[in-house]
């Protein structure tokens, strides 16, 4: 495969971030009891102590709107300061219209005409949306872009699957970005996305599109509605491809790993985070790890970790963050950001 040319830095600045978690929390001891396991068994095997699960009145678009309001409040800005909304969820609230439009409506902007559209790269949606927003801002199409990742994976989990049922949690994150001015150092230094469609069946939800239809058989449709993941095969493939991918990403950004103040990963699983820490030789304080309290939140997972790093002061103005993760596809994605 031909070498990919280095990407030019984009003058992107994160203005603020906000988050929303559903009210109801599910402790891992619930799963211990369900499967007659010793107390602590599920937490040890999943890496998750508790996670939030949305109730019926906490729709993905509503949660996304709450996260957006949080981000705007932190920035001291209002709804009129949004020029574009990009939704980067892993699983949409409904097939059509796009989730960004539903978030726009939930924000009270349904008559505003603000451009609103979706991107979908499953758990890597935020990385793709960040690059897209940076490009649009660099072209001066917009002043400020709101990126929202709001996912409810609990809606599609098989409650009897010990691999997936305790791993995932629900939540929403919003990140407001703008074009960095000439006197600001903020920039999106590089982004990368690699997709390997031969691994498409390793992580999937076969229904809710046109491939498998309800009238083909209600029972088969019901069974295929659940999230399906071949965890071991997915982990092996991602781990095999990660070192070369990471090397290319850092080289295109003109920085090495030591120059990154924090590493912000997609919270795929405890095993995946442990592997990343071993491969990179990272001290615990440099790896942002929120899996235990949040679970894997699909597309919201990576920006939720970034949001936490900002709240904790682990990433400050002028500092560098490496965003890295895997997604269904099979896909690898990442970004290097100078905050």
In the chain (339 residues long), the average pLDDT of successive 10-residue segments reads: 57 98 97 94 95 97 98 98 97 94 98 97 96 97 97 92 93 98 94 87 78 82 77 78 91 94 94 88 89 97 98 96 91 95
Task: Let me know: does 323 contact 337? Beta carbons within 8 Å.
Answer: yes
The CA distance from 328 to 339, in Å, is 28
Fold for the domain defined by 12-179 = Peroxisomal Thiolase; Chain A, domain 1 (3.40.47)
Q: Is 228 helix (H, G, I), strand (E, B) or coil?
A: strand
Does 275 qualify as catalytic in the annotation?
no
Q: What is the DSSP letter of 296?
A: B
Element (H, E) at 263: strand 262-265
State residue 224's pLDDT score. 74
Q: What is the DSSP string of 4-25?
A: PPPPPPB-EEEEEEEEE--SEE
CA diameter of the chain: 61
Task: Let me know: does 180 contact 11? Beta carbons within 8 Å.
Answer: yes
Residues of the chain with CATH 3.40.47.10: 12-179, 187-338
Q: Write down the catalytic residue from 45, 53, 266, 307.
A: 266
The CA distance from 29 to 49, in Å, is 8
State residue 7's pLDDT score. 58
Sign of CA dihedral 84, 86, 92, 96: positive
DSSP E strands in 79-159: the ranges are: 84-87, 116-118, 144-151
CB atoms within 10 A of CB 24: 13
State residue 212's pLDDT score. 76
Question: Can you read off the two tokens belonging to residue 106?
Answer: 């939930």
State residue 242's pLDDT score. 86
The CA distance from 87 to 100, in Å, is 5
Sign of CA dihedral 230, 231, 236, 241: positive
Does 225 qualify as catalytic in the annotation?
no
Compute the C-alpha angle 164/168/169, nearest 5°: 155
Does 36 qualify as catalytic in the annotation?
no
DSSP E strands in 144-241: the ranges are: 144-151, 171-179, 187-195, 203-204, 228-229
- Burial code (b: 16+ CB inside 10 Å, e: under 16) for 224-258 equals bbbbbbebeebbebbeebbeebbebbbebbebeee
Residues belonging to the chain: 339
Task: Let me know: does 116 contact 104? Beta carbons within 8 Å.
Answer: yes
State residue 250's pLDDT score. 96
Second CATH level (architecture) for the domain 187-338: 3-Layer(aba) Sandwich (3.40)
Q: Write down the catalytic residue from 123, 149, 203, 260.
A: 123
């Amino acid at each position: 495969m031909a070498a990919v040319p280095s990407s030019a830095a984009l003058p992107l600045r994160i203005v603020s971030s906000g988050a929303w978690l559903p009210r109801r929390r599910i402790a891992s001891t619930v799963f211990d009891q369900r499967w007659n396991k010793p107390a602590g068994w599920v937490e040890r095997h999943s890496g998750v102590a508790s996670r939030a699960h949305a109730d019926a009145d906490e729709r993905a678009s509503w949660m996304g709107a709450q996260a957006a309001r949080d981000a705007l409040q932190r920035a001291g800005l209002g709804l009129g300061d949004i020029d574009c909304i990009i939704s980067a969820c892993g699983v949409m609230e409904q097939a059509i219209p796009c989730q960004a439009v539903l978030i726009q409506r939930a924000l009270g902007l349904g008559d505003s005409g603000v451009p609103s559209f979706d991107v979908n790269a499953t758990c890597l949606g935020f990385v793709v949306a960040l690059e897209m927003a940076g490009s649009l801002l660099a072209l001066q199409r917009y002043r400020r872009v709101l990126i929202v990742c709001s996912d409810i994976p609990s809606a599609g989990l098989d409650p009897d699957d010990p691999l997936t049922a305790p791993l995932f949690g629900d939540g929403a994150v919003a990140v407001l970005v703008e074009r960095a001015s000439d006197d600001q150092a903020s920039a999106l230094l590089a982004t990368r996305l690699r997709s390997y469609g031969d691994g498409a069946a390793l992580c999937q939800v076969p229904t809710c599109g046109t491939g498998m239809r309800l009238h083909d058989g209600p029972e088969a449709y019901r069974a295929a509605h659940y999230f399906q993941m071949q965890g071991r095969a997915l982990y092996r493939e991602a781990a095999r491809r990660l070192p070369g991918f990471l090397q290319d990403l850092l080289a295109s950004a003109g920085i090495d790993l030591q120059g990154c103040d924090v590493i912000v990963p997609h919270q795929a699983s405890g095993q995946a985070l442990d592997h990343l820490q071993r491969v990179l030789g990272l001290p615990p304080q440099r790896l942002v790890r929120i899996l235990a309290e949040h679970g894997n939140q699909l597309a919201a997972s990576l920006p939720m970790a970034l949001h936490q790093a900002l709240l904790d002061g682990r990433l400050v103005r002028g500092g560098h963050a490496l965003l890295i993760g895997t997604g269904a596809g099979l896909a690898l994605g990442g970004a290097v950001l100078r905050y």
